[in-house]
Chain A
């Protein structure tokens, strides 16, 4: 079964590399933010798969924390670009 998890992990890393193209070269800031959000959500699943490869269940806790942080980061970046400020004065 560990071969399956290795293959899935490699496929996720491959898709992250594909998304990295948009993150670096994507025309405009919005393409870059969308790519960073996509990479963050892919990393959540990658952490779960890594936890199964190394047989350490605590990676799932890390991925829960990472999911929350990634969500908040995306919302903050979108809000900053929308209003030009983070909180109303």
Chain B
């Protein structure tokens, strides 16, 4: 492996770690709102890190431009989607979990 491959591997390994953390948070956290915290942050950074790793491996070409578009789209669309689901749940009256209650 050359130097660029090692840097790309490090980025992608970081992204994979954050994605595993996000999935674990989706399983472990006690209610809907806290689960969205895990998915909305960990998944965004994990996916962007994996795409950045692909960009470093690719070098400079037209595919890199498409990957940049994809990265910007994920950065904008992921928080908006999280916010939309959370607003729908809040408006329709789902009560948030307080400390000390049972898991839901």
Contacts and interface: CB of A to CB of B under 8 A. Distances in A.
A52 B9 CA distance: 13
B92 A82 contact: yes
B24 to A, nearest CB: 7
Interface residues of B, number: 46
Interface in A19-75: 19, 21-22, 27-28, 30-31, 33-35, 37-38, 41-42, 44-45, 48-49, 52, 57, 60-61, 63-64, 67-68, 71, 74-75
Interface of B: 1, 5, 8-9, 12-13, 15-16, 19-20, 22-24, 26-27, 32, 35-36, 39, 43, 47, 50-51, 54, 57, 63, 66-67, 69-70, 73-74, 77-78, 80-82, 84-85, 87-89, 91-92, 94, 104
